[in-house]
Amino acid sequence: MPSKVERWKDEAYGMEVRDHLLRFAEEGWDAIPEDEHDAWFERFKWWGLYHQRKGQESYFMMRIGTPMGRMTPEQLRTVGEVANEYATGPVDNPEFGEAYADFTTRQSIQLHWIKVEDIADIWEELESVGLSTMQACGDSWRNIVGSPVAGRDADELIDVWPIVQELHETFKGNDLYANLPRKWKVAMTGDRRGSGQGDINDLAFEPATKEIDGEEVEGFNVNVGGGLSRKEPRFARDIDVFCRPENAADVAAGMSALFRDYGDREDRFNARIKFLMDEWGPEKMRSVLQEEYVDYELPTAGEGLRDEYDYNAGRSDSHGDYVGVHDQSDGQNFVGLYVTVGRMSAEDVIDLADMAQEYGSEMIGLTQRQNLIVGDIADEDLDDFLDEDLLDEHSPDPHPFMRGSIACTGTEYCSLSIVETKNRMVRYGRWLRDNVPLPEGVDDFHIHLSGCTASCAQPQIADISLRGMKTRKDGDAVEAFDIGLGGGLGENPTFADWVKMRVPADEVPGYIANLLEAFEEERDSPEQSFRDFVAERDEDELAGLADGEETSYEDPYLGNTKMTWYPYAEDTSMDASPAPTDGTGEPLPSDD
C-alpha cells in the first residue's frame, strides 16, 4: 500500500502547489487548514519550503537551489537583500546576528524564519534575477552539484556547465519527473579534482575517456546509488556505462524514470535508489536502463580519472578544497573564501556581492565544503582584492581547523537533529585553533559535524566525523557525539570508522587534542596523512589512541537544546515561544 505521503502527493504535488502557496501567502498562516497541516507542509517542500521544528510553528526554512553552486554577483546580492528583509526571527543568533544565509553541502542556500505571508514577495525578488526555490526540497530532482568553476578551472577534462544547464532546464518543472519516490540527487564532474563528490549521490557522472571507433572520446562514466543517510552509507556503484556529453540528458532521464517506476513508494525508509541498487546490483540496473529506458546502445565504461581526485580526499600532497587563489584557464584567478560553517551574515553577503562586481567578477561559486568562490579576478587586481577588509573574516587562508569545519543546521531549526551544531562547531574550531598545535605538515584537516544520522554535514567522509548523540554525565542527559575517523573521497573512497561512541560534547575538543598528539607521536613520518595513518590501524587500535577530556573549552549547549523553542533565547522554554505568529511576527492567539 502506498505510504501516506504518496497519497498526499497524489492529491496535489509539483507545479500546482505554487498556486496554493500564493493563496496561503495572500490569506495568511491561519488559512492553511489545521487538519491539513501535515499534507501541505509535505507538499510545500517541492517549492523549497520546510516547516521549522516544534516551537517554531508558522516559520519556514527556504532553500534556493543554485546548480553547481554557480551564481552571479547580482544574484548573490539579491539573496543578501532577501535575507535582510525576510529571514529575521524573534531572537538573534549569538554568533551570527539577526539575518544570515546558510551555504549548504549541496551548494544551495538556506534562509530561516521565513513566513508564508512573505512568499510571493520573496519569489518575485528571487525570480527577477533568475533564482528559484523550485524542487529545492521534496521528492524530485534536487539541485545538481558539481564544480562551480567549470569552464574556468585550468584543471579540467570537460566544461560541464552547459550540460548541467541543460539538465537543470530539462528536469526542473518537468511533470514526468516531478513526483519521484524520494529525493533524487545528481552530481556531474568534469574536472580532475573529483569536486562533484559524485560518490555520495544517487546518480553521478564522473569524467572519463573512451576509445570509440578508433577515436578517443571525452565523456563520463555513470555511477548509481550513493548516499550517506540513516546509518546506511553507500558509495555510488559503477554500472559500466560510458556516456557522451550529448547523451547525458538521455541517460539522466532514463535513470530518473527507472527510479520513478521501480523505487519503493510503500516504505519511505527504503525508497532511495541505493536500496534498489542493494536489491538489483549494478548489472541488473544497467540492463533495465538499457532495455526499458534508453533507445541507443550504451557503451561500456571508459577510463576514469579517479587516481587524480584530491577533493576532500585527505591527501597530504594537496588541499582538498577550493579555498585560496587558483588559476583560471583564461589567465585570471578564482579565489576561494572561507565561510564559518557555511553561514554568512546578510550584510556580508551584500558587501561581498558588491565587491565581486567592482572587481569585474561574473561568477560566484558555492562549494560543497560550505565555502564561497569569487571568480574572474585579474592578476593586476589580485593583491588589492586580497587586501579587502571583508577577507579578514572570510579568509582565503584560514587556520586549518576553521578551513576544514563543516556543520549542518542542527537543533536550532531542524526537527531531526539530536544536538546543537553550527554554533558549537564555531566554538570547537576557535578553541582548537587557539589551543592545539597542528602536527607538522598538516595544513588541511576536515572535521564534519552532523546533528543526526541524516548526515547533512557528510560526517562519514571526513578526517574526524562527529555525529549527534546523547549520553549521561554525572547522571544528567547531555548532548554528545559518536566519533569516526579516517573517512574521505578521492581515488579510494572510504567511510569513517566509528571508534568512540557517546563522547560528551564538552569533551570532544579534548579528544581531538589528545588524538592529534597521538598521531604526531605514532605516525610513520611527517609525510603520512592522517587518513593513511587511520587506514593502517584496526578499530581497537584506533579506539585506544585517545580519550575524551574536559579542558578549558566551555560548552553552553550541553543540555537538551531540542527541548527549547530556540536554544539561544533568554527564556528557552517551549511555553515562551511566540510561534505561531502572523505575517507581522505577532503571536497568534492559541486555541486553548
Partner 1 sequence: MTTSVHQLDDGAWVSVNDSREVNVSDLWRLARHDFCRCRLADFLVEGFVEVAPDGADVEARVAGRCIQCGASGVTDWLTLGRVDPETDEFRPVVPESVHVPGRRSRLATPP
Binding segment toward partner 1, per CB under 8 A, in 30-38, 194-202, 305-313, 434-442: 30-38
CA 461 to chain centre: 13
Closer to partner 1 by CB, 414 or 449: give it: 414
- DSSP-derived letter for residue 60 is E
Left, alpha or beta for 502 (phi > 0: left; psi -120 to 50: alpha)?
A: left
Question: In the range 476-495, which residues lie near partner 1 by CB under 8 A?
Answer: 477
CA terminus-to-terminus distance, the chain: 37
284 lines the binding site for partner 1 (CB under 8 A): no
Nearer to partner 1, 244 or 470 (CB): 470
Distance CA 193, CA 31 (A): 50
Q: List phi, psi (to 5°) of 102.
A: -105, 130
Residue with smaller CB distance to partner 1, 131 or 457? 457
Evaluate whether 316 touches 441 at the Cβ level (below 8 Å). yes
Shortest separation between residue 234's beta carbon and partner 1, angstroms:
17
* Closest to partner 1 by CB, 232 or 308: 232
Sign of torsion over alpha carbons 220, 225, 229, 232: negative
Asked if 34 interacts with partner 1 (CB under 8 A), we say: yes
Q: Interface with partner 1 includes 472 (CB under 8 A)?
A: yes
Tell me the site size for partner 1, rule CB under 8 A: 37
Of 1 and 387, nearer to partner 1 (C-beta) is: 1
Distance CA(491)–CA(305), nearest Å, equals 8
| φ, ψ for residue 61, nearest 5 deg | -85, 135
Cell numbers describing residue 99: 539575518
Q: What is the dihedral of CA 370, 98, 429, 377, to 10 degrees?
A: 40
7 near partner 1, judged by CB under 8 A: no
List 10, 269, 527, 544, residue binding partner 1 (CB under 8 A): 269
Q: C-alpha grid cell for residue 524?
A: 610513520
By beta-carbon proximity to partner 1, the closer residue of 268 and 433 is 268
The yes or no reply on residue 20 touching partner 1 (CB under 8 A) is: no
Given 11, 19, 36, 434, the residue binding partner 1 (CB under 8 A): 36
- For 537-555, give the DSSP string: S-HHHHHTS------S---
Provide, rounded to whole angstroms, the least separation between the CB of residue 577 and partner 1. 12
418 binds partner 1 (CB under 8 A): yes
473 binding partner 1? (CB under 8 A): no
In a 3-state reduction of DSSP, which class is residue 240? strand
**Whole-angstrom Cα distance, residue 72 to residue 224?**
31
Return the CA Rg of the chain.
23
268 forms part of the interface with partner 1 (CB under 8 A): yes
Locate 480 and state its grid cell.
Answer: 554528545
20, 244, 430, 470: which one contacts partner 1 (CB under 8 A)?
470
Q: Strands across the sheet with 497-504, in order?
A: 405-407, 447-450, 464-473, 476-485, 497-504
35 binds partner 1 (CB under 8 A): yes
Binder among 2, 27, 31, 37 for partner 1 (CB under 8 A): 37
Binding string, residues 219-248; x marks residues near partner 1 by CB under 8 A: ----------xxx-----------------
Stretch near partner 1 under the rule CB under 8 A, chosen from 34-42, 68-76, 203-211, 345-353: 34-42
**Residues 501-520 contacting partner 1, CB under 8 A:** 501-502
Establish if 300 lies at the interface with partner 1 (CB under 8 A).
no
Report 163-182 residues binding partner 1 (CB under 8 A). none
* From candidates 193, 306, 446, 562, binder to partner 1 by CB under 8 A: 562
CB of 230 to partner 1, least distance (A): 8
* Of 231 and 284, CB closest to partner 1: 231
- Give CA torsion, residues 250, 253, 257, 260, to 10 deg: 160
Is 12 a residue that touches partner 1 (CB under 8 A)? no
**Residue 265 beta carbon to partner 1: minimum distance, rounded to whole angstroms:** 14
CA 89 to chain centre: 23
Residue 139 as a binder of partner 1 (CB under 8 A): the answer is no
Question: Cis link prior to 580 (omega < 30° from 0)?
Answer: yes
Site for partner 1 contains 91 (CB under 8 A)? no
Interacting positions 428-457 with partner 1 (CB under 8 A): 452-454
In this chain, which stretch among 12-20, 211-219, 283-291, 471-479 interacts with partner 1, using CB under 8 A?
Answer: 471-479
- Do 305 and 192 touch, CB atoms closer than 8 A? yes
Residue 471 binds partner 1, judged by CB under 8 A: yes
AA identity, residue 304: G
Q: Nearer to partner 1 by C-beta: 1 or 524?
A: 1
Q: Please check whether residue 161 is in contact with residue 70, taking contact to mean a CB–CB distance below 8 angstroms.
A: yes
- 398-417 residues in contact with partner 1 (CB under 8 A) are 411, 414-417
Contacts of partner 1 in 48-67 (CB under 8 A): 53-54, 57
What is the secondary structure of 311-376 as a DSSP string?
Answer: TT---SSS-SS--EEEEBTTS-EEEEE--GGGEEEHHHHHHHHHHHHHTT---EEE-TTS-EEEEE
- Nearer to partner 1 (CB atom), residue 205 or residue 495: 495
Closest contact distance (angstroms) between CB of 517 and partner 1 is 26
Task: Count the alpha carbons within 13 Å of 456 in the hemisphere toward its beta carbon.
Answer: 24
- 147's CB contacts (< 8 A; 6+ apart) are 68, 153, 156, 160, 189, 190, 191, 193, 195, 196, 365
Nearest approach, Cβ of 463 to partner 1 (angstroms)?
A: 23
Beta carbon of residue 50, minimum distance to partner 1 (angstroms, whole number)? 8
Taking CB under 8 A as the rule, does residue 560 contact partner 1? yes
Query: Looking at beta carbons only, is 4 or 284 nearer to partner 1?
Result: 4
Distance CA 345, CA 92 (A): 12
DSSP string, 494-515: BPPEEEEEEEEGGGHHHHHHHH
Shortest CB 512 distance to partner 1, Å: 21
Site residues (CB under 8 A) for partner 1? 1, 4-5, 34-38, 41-42, 53-54, 57, 229-231, 268-269, 411, 414-419, 452-454, 469-472, 477, 501-502, 560, 562
